[in-house]
């Protein structure tokens, strides 16, 4: 990324601040040896990890528990040719500790999908990168 390409790199603090503003992101993982991307609603925990509340029996839990994944969220304004994108890379784990599960039940994100057998997935924010573009309206 050059200094004049219209993009600005975001530091970790800026990335996490922006992530806290949007409700939906995408988990990038491997399914049957192929890349897979799944949109999910999420929240940030106090340690900046990504939290997703999902069904304990979902294919997602089986595919990502214990492996490194990427998580991406963004926000763009097409009319102004501006926006940002943040990628968090880290190990995903199912939260199994009863005390932690109870705490997250009170403070963590709610799932947009109704399920009785839910669990929290945590994605550690081991590597956080982002960039912002501030375009000029009406230019192509």
Residue with the larger pLDDT of the pair 46 and 1:
46
The answer to whether residue 75 sits within a structural domain is yes
What pLDDT sits at residue 2?
Answer: 47
What is the mean predicted confidence (pLDDT) over 23-30?
96
The answer to whether residue 89 sits within a structural domain is yes
- Domains identified in the chain, total number: 1
- The residue range of the domain holding 72 is 7-133
The answer to whether residue 116 sits within a structural domain is yes
- Is the pTM above the cut of 0.85? yes
What pLDDT sits at residue 135?
Answer: 78
Distances (CA, A) of 70 to 29, 82, 100, 132, 136: 7, 23, 23, 18, 30
Compute the distance between CA of residue 50 and CA of residue 92 in angstroms, rounded to an integer. Answer: 9
What pLDDT sits at residue 83?
Answer: 96
What pLDDT sits at residue 3?
Answer: 53
The answer to whether residue 140 sits within a structural domain is no
What pLDDT sits at residue 139?
Answer: 53
Dihedral sign, Cα of residue 116, residue 101, residue 65, residue 91: positive
The answer to whether residue 18 sits within a structural domain is yes
The answer to whether residue 102 sits within a structural domain is yes
Residues facing 43 on adjacent strands: 51
The answer to whether residue 81 sits within a structural domain is yes
The answer to whether residue 1 sits within a structural domain is no
What pLDDT sits at residue 117?
Answer: 82
User: Which residue from 33, 133, 52, 58 is spatially nearest to 90, judged by alpha carbons?
Assistant: 52
Residues facing 40 on adjacent strands: 25
What CATH number has the domain bearing residue 40?
A: 2.30.110.10
Give residue-wise pLDDT tens across range 84-138: 999 999 999 999 999 988 888 888 787 777 677 889 999 999 999 999 998 765 5
Give residue-wise pLDDT tens across range 30-88: 998 999 999 999 999 999 999 999 988 889 999 999 999 999 999 999 999 999 999 99
């Amino acid at each position: 990324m050059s200094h004049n390409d219209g993009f600005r790199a975001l530091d970790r603090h800026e990335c996490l601040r922006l992530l806290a503003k949007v409700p939906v992101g995408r988990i990038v993982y491997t399914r049957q040896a192929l890349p897979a991307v799944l949109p999910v609603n999420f929240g940030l925990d106090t340690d900046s990890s990504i939290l997703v509340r999902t069904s304990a029996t979902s294919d997602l839990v089986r595919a990502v528990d214990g492996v490194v994944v990427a998580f991406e969220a963004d926000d763009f304004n097409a009319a102004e040719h501006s926006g940002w994108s943040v990628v968090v890379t880290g190990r995903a784990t199912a939260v199994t500790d009863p005390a932690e599960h109870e705490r997250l039940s009170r403070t963590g994100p709610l799932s947009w999908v109704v399920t009785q057998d839910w669990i929290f997935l945590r994605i550690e924010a081991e590597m956080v990168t982002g960039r912002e573009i501030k375009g000029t309206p009406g230019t192509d």
